[in-house]
Amino acid sequence: MLLGRTGHERGALVRSASQTLQTSVVGTPAERFAAARTPMVAPPPQVARFGTVALRYLAGAPILVRGPATRTEYRFTRDAPLQRVAQADAAALIASGYFRRES
């Protein structure tokens, strides 16, 4: 929880969460365009094995995230901000502040 913490503590928490996630924003304009146009697909078999949770990406830039527990790569874009991720990866993604759980 970030409320009630000093700026220094919040910054350290966000840095820690983002390092855990090992995120990377898709680089070239062509890659960003392709990522934005890619339709959602079913979760990979290794994700389904862990059980899934629907997460919404809250930022606008395309992002490729590797789940810390399953090592699965998840691609989120402005056009496809909602997808199912392995339950084992969900807590770390939510802790980053860039995702929220959908019901």
Residues 6+ apart with CB under 8 A from 12: none
| Residue 1 falls inside a structural domain | no
| Residue 96 falls inside a structural domain | yes
| Residue 38 falls inside a structural domain | yes
pLDDT the model gives residue 62:
94
The total number of structural domains in the chain stands at 1
| Residue 24 falls inside a structural domain | yes
Q: How many CB atoms lie within 10 A of CB 24?
A: 12
| Residue 2 falls inside a structural domain | no
Q: Which residues pair with 56 in a beta bridge?
A: 82, 100
pTM score, whole prediction: 0.55
pLDDT the model gives residue 23:
46
| Residue 13 falls inside a structural domain | yes
Domain ranges, residue 91: 7-101
Q: Residue length, the chain?
A: 103
Q: How far apart are CA 22 and CA 27, in angstroms?
A: 15
The series of mean pLDDT values per 10 residues for the chain, 103 residues long, is 56 53 52 52 60 92 93 92 93 95 88
Q: How far apart are CA 96 and CA 58, in angstroms?
A: 11
| Residue 90 falls inside a structural domain | yes
Q: How far apart are CA 21 and CA 15, in angstroms?
A: 10
Q: How far apart are CA 66 and CA 21, in angstroms?
A: 6
Residues 6+ apart with CB under 8 A from 24: 63, 64
